[in-house]
């Protein structure tokens, strides 16, 4: 392990040798692999002749409608722009060359292609496209559309995304109408690049140009894709409906068997969580993934639940936690001192909140990779130390990173304000130069009070934020919550404004992380990223991201990710919130699902199906219109 990790550091520290080249055998030179998919590490779980995904019902009937709710509103059908707010599921009409599954990590399979070809070092990839693929208007998809899609995302995609994409690809060549080749730049780890290029959405060049569309702009004219669902109708900020395309080109593909079973998927918009719940009770929509612990514990006592006409069930969820947290805007001077961020974090009492507000439904998030084997625990292992030591030697990390346990969220007592944490937080602020004045507020050496504004666009979060605000005030902070609508939230937390102190955000991660980490946590994109809204700029994080990207085995990836997790948590850019390892769902009893769900997806819009007999019974009883 140590030798492989040393090779990984060779790439990061500038030896000029890629890990793939270091680990590749001379005998493998010139060998080209042709396959129906590609796995980051190890073999694909599904053989080339698989008949359907193992977790679906291949005989599931087609028909009916499923409807859900969304918060706020929308003003665009373009999911790939920071301008405007895109409608829910607006990316559903688009497919990519490769697609993943819900029971296998790090593997993708051909969807728009029959096979892909790549050398052992993965320095290029050729996709052999299916000639039968058609856009939803019936026109054929060709390699020119794939090239156009790549060029459009490179020129007009999210700034952080295209910055990374430009570092990866040397050139793209159309070899024939159904064959396209991506060649990658030396100096960038090749491990994930075939899958990354295969994951780009494909849009119709002819439709885009004919309608004078612009990927960077908000628009209600959707781009044209090859997907199973197409936009049917919309009422801006009120509802949007997608219908299954009866002429969808890929109905008979093994990877699609038992999937895309609903004729329609409808989304109803609500500006208030309570109003949305009442809408569900009234039958305005039919499937609800309950996010409110108080609603789950006390709200489902109405007759249709008691009768079984609405099912209230808990289903297993094997996913890692979402990384939901309060995050700081570290671009602001008052949050640049880590001690200030740590002190504020001590004022959020999760234990009290969970007992008093959440009915004990949740567990605390501590790790960016919480609820997975990738989260750092305890003291760093010798393998982690091997990665952290060079960063300590360079002065990028303190020596304590080699000996201290991974940062954990503070534990509080049963009372809303934990006096012990209050004293510790007060000491931290004083160390950081914030002294308590005669008015009880902490001030810096310029006499300026420490102010903290938490942006909130969800009324149901008031009951969580207000106690946090009260605890910060007890610490001497001039804290307040500012309620904004969803449009204001988008505008104030997106680039280039970043006009906030703290807000709720997700610290994102993947199981097998790659270049997306540069968007989430990289210094290079920190001032243009829609994901790194906290503005994290850490040379140590940047170097560890490179090591994660270059890992050539699952063991190496695990060690590198744990080391990165350890360093990210030590930055204290967040006040982590909570998660649960189960889906809490309620739905009108007219939907069925496979007996055993896959570990990484609930899949209600993917592989559940409509039971027409049950639906008719609900209608006959007057439960549904």
| CATH for 415 | 3.10.105.10
On whether the CB atoms of residues 330 and 533 are closer than 8 A, the answer is no
Residue 23 has pLDDT above 90, yes or no: no
Domain tally, the chain: 1
**Residue 515 CA to its chain's centroid (Å):** 14
Residue 16 has pLDDT above 80, yes or no: no
State the residue range of the domain holding 415: 324-579
Name the H helices within 139-248.
Answer: 143-156, 159-168, 193-198, 205-210
478-494 pLDDT, tens per residue? 999 999 998 899 899 99
Residue 142 has pLDDT above 70, yes or no: yes
- Predicted confidence band at 203 (pLDDT cuts at 50, 70, 90)? very high
Residue 14 has pLDDT above 50, yes or no: no
If we measure between CA atoms, which residue out of 293, 282, 306, 227 comes closest to residue 260? Answer: 227
- Predicted confidence band at 411 (pLDDT cuts at 50, 70, 90)? very high
Alpha carbon distance 98, 199 (integer Å): 6
Decide if 67 is inside a domain.
no
Decide if 150 is inside a domain.
no
Cis peptide leading into 496, omega within 30 of 0? Answer: yes
Percent of the residues in the chain that have a pLDDT greater than 90, as a whole number: 90
| Contact residues for 447 (Cβ-Cβ < 8 A; gap 6+) | none
| Full DSSP string of 456-513 | E--GGGHHHHHHHHHHHHHTT-EEEEEE--HHHHHHHHSTTT---SEEEEE----SS-
Decide if 623 is inside a domain.
no
Residue 475 has pLDDT above 80, yes or no: yes
Q: Facing residues of 173 across strands?
A: 181
251-310 pLDDT, tens per residue? 999 999 999 999 999 999 999 899 999 999 999 999 999 999 999 999 999 999 999 999
Rounded CA Rg of the chain: 25
- Predicted confidence band at 89 (pLDDT cuts at 50, 70, 90)? very high
Alpha carbon distance 618, 588 (integer Å): 8
pLDDT value at residue 11 = 32
Residue with tokens 């908000």: 218
Decide if 309 is inside a domain.
no
Question: Which helix (H) or strand (E) is 424 found in, with range?
Answer: helix 419-431
Mean pLDDT of the chain: 93
Decide if 366 is inside a domain.
yes
Alpha carbon distance 213, 604 (integer Å): 32
Query: Quick one: DSSP state of residue 112?
Result: S
Decide if 504 is inside a domain.
yes
What is the pairing mode between strands 65-71 and 264-270?
A: parallel
- Of the chain, the end-to-end C-alpha distance in Å amounts to 63
pLDDT value at residue 164 = 85
Percent of the residues in the chain that have a pLDDT greater than 70, as a whole number: 95
Decide if 207 is inside a domain.
no
pLDDT value at residue 166 = 87
Mean local confidence (pLDDT), 313-341:
96
233-254 pLDDT, tens per residue? 999 999 999 999 999 999 999 9
Decide if 561 is inside a domain.
yes
């Amino acid at each position: 392990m140590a030798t492989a990790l040393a090779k990984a550091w060779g790439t990061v520290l500038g030896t000029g040798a890629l890990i793939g080249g270091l680990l590749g055998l001379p005998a493998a030179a010139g060998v080209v692999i042709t396959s129906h998919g590609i796995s980051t590490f190890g073999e694909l779980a599904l053989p080339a002749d698989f008949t359907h995904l193992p977790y679906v019902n291949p005989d599931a009937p087609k028909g009916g409608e499923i409807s859900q709710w969304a918060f706020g509103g929308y003003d665009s059908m373009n999911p790939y722009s920071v301008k405007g707010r895109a409608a829910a599921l607006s990316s559903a009409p688009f497919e990519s060359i490769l697609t993943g599954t819900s029971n296998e990590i790090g593997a993708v399979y051909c969807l728009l292609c029959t096979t892909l070809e790549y050398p052992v070092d993965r320095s290029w990839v050729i996709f052999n496209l299916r000639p039968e693929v058609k856009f939803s208007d019936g026109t054929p998809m060709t390699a020119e559309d794939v090239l156009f899609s790549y060029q459009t995302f490179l020129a007009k995609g999210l700034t952080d995304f295209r910055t990374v994409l430009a570092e990866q690809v040397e050139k793209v060549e159309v070899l024939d109408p159904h064959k396209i080749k991506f060649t990658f730049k030396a100096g960038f780890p090749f491990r994930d690049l075939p899958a990354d290029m295969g994951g780009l959405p494909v849009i119709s060049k002819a439709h885009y140009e004919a309608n004078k569309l612009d990927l960077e702009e908000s628009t209600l004219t959707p781009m044209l894709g090859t997907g199973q669902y197409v936009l049917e109708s919309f009422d801006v900020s009120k509802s949007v409906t997608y219908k299954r395309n009866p002429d969808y080109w890929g109905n008979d593909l093994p990877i699609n068997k038992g999937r895309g079973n609903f004729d329609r998927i409808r989304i109803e918009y609500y500006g208030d969580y309570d109003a949305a719940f009442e809408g569900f009770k009234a039958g305005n929509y039919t499937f609800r993934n309950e996010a409110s612990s108080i609603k789950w514990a006390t709200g489902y006592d109405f007759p249709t639940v008691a009768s079984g006409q609405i099912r209230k069930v808990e289903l297993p969820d094997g996913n890692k936690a979402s990384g939901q947290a309060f995050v700081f805007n570290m671009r602001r001077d008052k949050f640049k001192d880590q001690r200030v961020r740590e002190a504020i974090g001590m004022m959020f009492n999760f234990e009290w909140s969970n007992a008093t507000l959440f009915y004990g439904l949740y567990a605390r998030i501590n790790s960016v990779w919480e609820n997975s084997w990738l989260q750092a625990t305890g003291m760093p292992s010798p393998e982690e130390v091997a990665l952290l030591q060079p960063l300590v030697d360079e002065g990028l990390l303190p020596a304590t990173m080699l000996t201290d346990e991974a940062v954990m969220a503070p534990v509080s007592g049963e009372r809303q304000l934990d006096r012990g944490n209050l004293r510790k937080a007060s000491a931290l602020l004083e160390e950081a130069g914030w002294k308590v004045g005669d008015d009880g507020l902490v001030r810096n050496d310029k006499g300026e009070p420490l102010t903290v504004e938490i942006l909130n666009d969800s009324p149901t979060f008031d009951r969580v934020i207000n106690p946090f605000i009260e605890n910060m005030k007890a610490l001497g902070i001039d804290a307040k919550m500012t309620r904004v609508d969803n449009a204001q939230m988008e505008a104030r937390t997106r680039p280039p404004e970043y006009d906030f102190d703290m807000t709720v955000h997700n610290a994102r991660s993947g199981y097998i992380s790659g270049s997306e980490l540069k968007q989430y946590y990289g210094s290079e994109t920190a001032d243009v990223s829609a994901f790194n809204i906290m503005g994290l700029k850490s040379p140590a994080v940047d170097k560890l991201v490179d090591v994660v990207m270059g890992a050539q085995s699952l063991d190496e990836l695990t060690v590198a990710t744990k080391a990165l997790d350890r360093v990210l948590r030590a930055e204290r850019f967040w006040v982590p919130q909570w998660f649960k390892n189960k889906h809490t769902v309620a739905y009108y009893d007219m939907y069925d699902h496979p007996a055993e769900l896959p570990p990484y997806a609930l899949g209600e819009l993917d592989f559940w199906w409509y039971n027409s007999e049950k639906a008719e019974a609900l209608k006959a009883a007057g439960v549904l219109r």
